[in-house]
Amino acid sequence: MRDAVTKLIDNYDTKGRYLDRDAMDVLQSYFTTGMERVQAAAIINGDAAAIVRQAGSTLFEKVPELIRPGGNAYTTRRYAACLRDMDYYLRYASYAIIAGSMDVLDERVLQGLRETYNSLGVPIAPTVRGIQIMKEMVKDKVAEAGITSTAFIDQPFDHMTQELSEQSV
Ligand SMILES: CCC1=C(C)/C(=C/C2=NC(=C\c3[nH]c(/C=C4\NC(=O)[C@H](C)[C@H]4CC)c(C)c3CCC(=O)O)/C(CCC(=O)O)=C2C)NC1=O
């Protein structure tokens, strides 16, 4: 698992090259957003339980069949598993925001996930919707804290969304 900096150094070391102009651009953008990344992670951390609970309610309001008999989140066990998954996505998103790299998501969250979901009949589309609801909530909170450019918040949520949505057999 690597962050933005170790990833860059790895790439250059493999080629035996000094860090050039392009590398400096990558580093500069990582470090100039550094304090905002830390602030965003702190905001997520301080409000995680509420974000998950509220995003879950919103999702079940929008897709009520999930919690009706026959729905994948029906029964308290599966309802709890669903919210636990949402909590995983939020927590790992906060790690990826700090790392400035999606590696942590690829290695610890997404590997084999679609296969697991398919075999258990966990529907992907509403899962993606839940992830996107959390993204919007986090962006609102971060914006309230005065951080104006929130593109770095989109990244991990959109990455998980894309990887999960990829066509599966
Ligand atoms: C940290 C990385 C990580 C992830 C991501 C993860 C996901 C994950 N979610 C699971 C189940 C599940 N996931 C859901 C989720 C949902 N059902 C819905 O209808 C909703 C759309 C959605 C919530 C948004 C449910 C209901 C189950 C239980 C399914 C079952 O056992 O029948 C399972 C099967 C094993 C288990 O029940 O614990 C895994 C491995 N586990 C991990 O270790």
Chain segment 7-46, per-residue pLDDT in tens: 999 999 999 999 999 999 999 999 999 999 999 999 999 9
SS3 assignment for 82-112: HHHHHHHHHHHHHHHHHHCCCHHHHHHHHCC
57 is a domain residue: yes
Residue 121 zone, left/alpha/beta (φ > 0; ψ -120 to 50; rest): left
Phi-psi region of 123 (alpha: psi -120 to 50; beta: other; left: phi over 0): beta
Say if 67 falls within a structural domain: yes
- Residue 7 Cα to ligand 1 midpoint, Å, equals 30
Q: What is the CATH number of the domain that holds 66?
A: 1.10.490.20
Reported as a pLDDT band with limits 50, 70 and 90, residue 167 is low
Q: How far apart are CA 89 and CA 146, in angstroms?
A: 24
SS3 28: helix
Answer whether 86 contacts ligand 1 (Cβ < 6 A): yes
Tens-digit pLDDT profile for residues 77-118: 999 999 999 999 999 999 999 999 999 999 999 999 999 999
Which of 65, 67, 82, when mutated, tests ligand 1's pocket best, judged by the most ligand atoms within 8 Å of its CB?
82
In 3D space, the residue among 131, 119, 156 whose CA is nearest the CA of residue 37 turns out to be: 156
Q: What is the best residue among 62, 75, 79, 120 to mutate for testing ligand 1's pocket, by most ligand atoms within 8 Å of CB?
A: 120
Report the chain's mean pLDDT, rounded to a whole number. 95
pLDDT at 156 over 70: yes
pTM: 0.95
Domain count for the chain: 1
The span from the CA of 79 to the CA of 89, in Å, is 16
Q: Is the pLDDT of residue 166 over 90?
A: no
**Nearest atom (ligand 1) to Cα of 79:** 26
Residue nearest to atom 42 of ligand 1 (CA): 109
**Which tokens in the block code for residue 47?**
């409000």
Residue 28 within any structural domain of the chain = no
**Confidence at residue 124, expressed as pLDDT on a 0 to 100 scale:** 97
Which residue in 113, 107, 109, 80 sits closest to 92, CA to CA?
109
- Structure letter (DSSP) for residue 102: S
**Domain annotation covers residue 128:** yes
Long-range CB contact pairs, 115-118, < 8 A, 24+:
115/168, 117/164, 118/168
Residue 83 is part of which domain span?
A: 33-166
Predicted pLDDT of residue 110: 97
11 lies in some domain: no
Name the closest-CA residue to atom 8, ligand 1: 85
The type of residue at 123 is P
Neighbours of 64 (CB within 10 A): 10
Note whether residue 27 is domain-resident.
no
The span from the CA of 16 to the CA of 130, in Å, is 43
- In a domain, residue 101? The reply is yes
